[in-house]
Chains A and B, each alone.
Chain A
């Protein structure tokens, strides 16, 4: 008898960047280990416009290679699923949408089939909220402080010059400074 317990967890978070940056980070599968706590190793085996085949090693299962196939729609969606027959059996579905004030709303839905062999190990690793926080941190390293604010939370004021004008972070809030005629 096969004991399987499918479990779905969903989390959303607004990230201060445009959709294309979030999408590029999510669909750069080889770089997942740099920021994605669930994945410790990733090798992209093949890729074409909307598909990729990737071998990953997951944090709860050191030394175990899991093959996943990924589908990606630019600036909108990244879906990664383990190949059928693999243990663990999971789907990670990232959706990228618009949030107010030009930010990006990222939602991740994780469907994970718990089995006796992976139940304990996986319990602590399935943390969609943590994954989104990690994504936000990674975004900030690409977008610089313009997107996520000063790296040091004790900083009260920082002002940057951008192509579009001055951007000011003051006590955790972002202000775009426009010329007034």
Chain B
């Protein structure tokens, strides 16, 4: 089991003791075709990693089951169950003989608490899932969508609007907020602060550990251990939305984001975000000199 787990990207590089702990509490399971792994509405208690085979994700939208997508080897299924305690939002059925590793919530959650690098890796998996879901066209009952999904796929809640990307952008932003909120709630992200930027801006700075992009929405992860600064540059006109998570800003220890009022921006506007105080400073616009 240890060797299997070592090959899973999220766990690669972990020390032997940790790998042993995970291996001691994970099991493998082989399923025949058409077996139900997850039923929509059930409480999610664990997640799956597919070693071989393929599963299909379905969701009941009243008028019948909608196929949200397929998940294949080397991918997680239902990973959101690790950080949230909501019922499964979709069903998962095997399409062929499928072998999975099963991970129960408690062990992984505990590891996330103690190993920030693991939390970061899991966030990448979840962000990738959001990205794929965002690219997915609007699902219709009986339709088939050739993209990935998960039993807890966050964006599956909100089909893409047909008249533009504004609704989807807001939805992605909300889902990212939800993910980080849950990560802080289960104490899996307490060593980081996160700035979630609603476009049209780009962030940069030496303190940024990672920038996770889902469409035009960005989540910038910074270390929470000391002061940090982020430079935010507008690349277009629109409304700039900002939410900041920082463990020091959580009132009564309950994690929630500091929400800044939307700001109208134009290209080349520049802001500086200072943490942990969450101060947003707008810089005076630099007007290029006219050529003579």
Contact = CB atoms under 8 A, between A and B. Distances in A.
A21 B196 CA distance: 52
Given A46-B45, A73-B29, A81-B107, A51 B102 contact: yes
Contact of B27 (A48, A53, A73): A73
A49 interface: yes
A59 B39 CA distance: 34
- Interface of B, helix, strand, loop or mixed by DSSP: strand
Contacts of A48: 38-39, 42-46, 88
A53 B42 CA distance: 12
B102 A50 contact: yes
A83 B28 CA distance: 20
A125 interface: no
B24 interface: yes
A84 B28 contact: no
A114 interface: no
A74 interface: yes
- Interface of A, helix, strand, loop or mixed by DSSP: strand
Contacts of B26: 71
A79 B101 CA distance: 13
Interface string B184-226: 0000000000000000000000000000000000000000000
B43 A84 contact: no
A51 B38 CA distance: 10
A69 B105 contact: yes
Contacts of B45: 46-48, 51-53, 69
A147 B185 CA distance: 50
B104 interface: yes
B106 A69 contact: yes
A50 B151 CA distance: 14
B5 to A, nearest CB: 14
Interface in A102-147: 111
Interface string A64-78: 000001111110110
A69 B106 CA distance: 8
Given A48-B38, A48-B45, A91-B24, A71 B106 contact: no
Contacts of A83: 106
Given A49-B38, A51-B102, A71-B104, A77 B43 contact: no
Contacts of B88: 48
B139 interface: no
A124 B240 CA distance: 65
A152 B44 CA distance: 46
Nearest to A45: B43
Contacts of A72: 27
B30 to A, nearest CB: 8
Contacts of A46: 42-43, 45
Contact of B25 (A73, A74, A81): A81
A12 B201 CA distance: 63
Given A73-B27, A91-B25, 20 more contacts: A46-B43, A46-B45, A48-B38, A48-B42, A48-B46, A49-B36, A49-B38, A51-B102, A70-B104, A71-B25, A72-B27, A73-B30, A74-B29, A76-B29, A77-B29, A79-B27, A83-B106, A84-B106, A91-B24, A111-B24
12 contacts: A46-B42, A46-B45, A52-B45, A53-B45, A71-B102, A71-B104, A73-B27, A73-B29, A73-B30, A84-B106, A84-B107, A91-B24
